[in-house]
Amino acid sequence: MSARRNPTETINYPNGENETIVTNLDGTKASDIGTATTPALYDEGVVEPGGTIVDDDNGSIVGVPDAAISDGSTWTSTTADGTSNTTRTFANMLGEAYLTQTSASDQSYPPPMADAVTSFDGNGRPIKFVDVDGTTTYTTYDPTTGQAAMSFVDVNNNGVYDPGIDIRSTSKPSALPGSSTTSGSTTNTTLSNKGVQTSVSTTTLGSGVTQSSNTNGLATTTTTSDPTGPGDYTVTTSNPDGTSVVDTYVDGLLATEQVLGNNETVTTTTSYAYDGLRRMISSTDYTGTTNYTYFEDGTEATVQTPGHNAVAVNAIDQTNNAATSTTRSDGGTINTPQNSLGEDA
């Protein structure tokens, strides 16, 4: 019995360029090469006792053991433009991405890796990040709300915040007087390493319908109107430059979006239409109307933008609703046949 071949999809573009995508048998991408893309190779594996990095594909050992890598971790990597451009990311058994390695720019193979390490507390929140250049950032949290309270770049690498040396950013939540727990404000302040305030941003939520954000005196306000019927309301966003965006909802669906200039004159309007199953069937703006159609099962069948032929799905695999043949707006066709397991053949 012959070995199973990795699914391969080849796309030939009208300009003569091409792209070949190879996936592993588990559906993950193995490589993406061709003249129409930046060539890239993808890999994955596990970490065995002692920090040994093992490739899932063939069981080979990748690189050298690293004490910063936890046993039982999983890893993924991307290599682009040669072996000296590899990024490898490790996740612990909780799925937290705690380590990113990037290769150094030399010609050795496997290339030496520089580590960027993230540490978490018992609640899964990042508390320390050490970048590849050794720069360390610490984050602390408010014990009452659990929100991030302060982070600082440890310029002198002594593990504590030193005013006038380290760069600090703080976040302070507060409740509005007499308001419910859903109302309040959060103020974020950034100080330079000289202790000079460089940025202040305050976000306020009041009565559950109005939210404002003020950064260095520039205010953005979002207001939701009282409903005029079930699911009928407007959301108005006012920007610091005097422009605004008004979104109108009907029956819970976005019906129109208007962009207004600072003189409150409408500059653009986009309207949306839906079928009886609440699927969008058209959107109309200054360029014209884009139309959408669907198969009976709700899978998108065609999309036709103004001045172009429709992009159409010609055939789908009934086992997983994946498109097996698609016609592009330029008339070209992409064929991605499926095997009996619903994988790209």
CA-CA-CA-CA dihedral for 21, 22, 24, 28, to nearest 10 = -10
pTM beyond 0.85 = no
Tokens standing for residue 14: 């009208």
> Which helix (H) or strand (E) segment is 119 a member of?
strand 113-120
Q: How far apart are CA 78 and CA 31, in angstroms?
A: 9
| Selection from 197, 194, 196 nearest residue 164 by Cα | 194
Confidence grade of residue 184 (pLDDT, cut at 50, 70, 90): low
CA-CA-CA-CA dihedral for 118, 120, 126, 130, to nearest 10 = -20
| Selection from 31, 23, 28 nearest residue 4 by Cα | 23
Q: How far apart are CA 227 and CA 9, in angstroms?
A: 49
Residue 174 burial class via C-beta count within 10 angstroms: exposed 0-12, middle 13-18, buried 19 and up: exposed
Q: How far apart are CA 50 and CA 67, in angstroms?
A: 7
Model pLDDT, residue 53? 82
Query: For the chain, which residues make up each domain, given as ranges?
Result: 38-134, 135-208
Model pLDDT, residue 249? 94
Which positions ≥6 away from 119 have C-beta within 8 Å? 98, 126, 127, 128, 129
> Is the pLDDT assigned to residue 176 strictly greater than 50?
no
Residue recorded with tokens 């302040």? 189
Per-residue pLDDT tens for 75-123? 888 888 666 678 888 888 888 888 888 875 444 444 456 778 898 888 8
| Mean pLDDT computed over 284-291 | 95
Model pLDDT, residue 183? 52
DSSP, res 176? P
